[in-house]
């Protein structure tokens, strides 16, 4: 089973897959004619639209999952695995915010230099000098 959050789709491990299939079979907002065939995991009240983030956050709170704390924990975990500027760019955070979170969490990416790292130094063009 795969879940498409982007490309490529993410595999869902076996202990979670049956839970997800049960959820899909009993999703909310599927009674209206416009949503009956929705492929969205969290369909909204309007056809073709996802559930609003504030509504999803409220649903998570109802079952005891603190969404804000979970989001913070997820970002801190990413900071342990990737440089702060990359995490900031990927999640739309300011780079100073991710740098602060990195320092608070004791991350090891403090010496990362942001910028284009795809080119090798020998392939960069430098001004030519000519002896006369």
In a domain, 99, yes or no: yes
Whether residue 38 is found in the same domain as residue 13 = yes
Whether residue 100 is found in the same domain as residue 71 = yes
Full domain range(s) for residue 93: 67-105
The length of the chain is 132
Whether residue 6 is found in the same domain as residue 46 = yes
Provide the pLDDT for residue 132.
Answer: 44
Whether residue 44 is found in the same domain as residue 76 = no
Count of the separate structural domains present in the chain? 2
In a domain, 56, yes or no: no
Model confidence pLDDT, tens digit, residues 80-126: 888 888 888 888 888 888 888 888 877 766 555 556 655 555 544 54
Whether residue 44 is found in the same domain as residue 71 = no
In a domain, 58, yes or no: no
In a domain, 113, yes or no: no
Provide the pLDDT for residue 109.
Answer: 62
Percent of the chain with pLDDT over 90: 0
Whether residue 45 is found in the same domain as residue 77 = no
In a domain, 92, yes or no: yes
Provide the pLDDT for residue 122.
Answer: 53
- Examine the pLDDT at 76 and tell me if it is beyond 80: yes
Q: Round to whole Å and give the CA distance between 30 and 20.
A: 16
């Amino acid at each position: 089973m795969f879940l498409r959050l982007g490309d490529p789709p993410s595999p869902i491990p076996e202990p979670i897959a049956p839970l997800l299939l049960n959820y899909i079979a009993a999703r909310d907002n599927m009674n209206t004619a416009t949503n009956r065939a929705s492929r969205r995991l969290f369909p909204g009240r309007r056809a073709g639209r996802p559930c609003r983030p504030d509504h999803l956050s409220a649903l998570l709170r109802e079952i005891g999952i603190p969404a804000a704390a979970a989001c913070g924990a997820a970002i801190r975990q990413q900071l342990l695995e990737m440089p702060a500027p990359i995490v900031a760019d990927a999640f739309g955070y300011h780079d100073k915010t991710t740098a602060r979170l990195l320092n608070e969490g004791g991350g090891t990416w403090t010496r990362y230099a942001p910028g284009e790292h795809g080119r090798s130094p020998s392939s960069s063009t430098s001004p030519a000098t000519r002896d006369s």
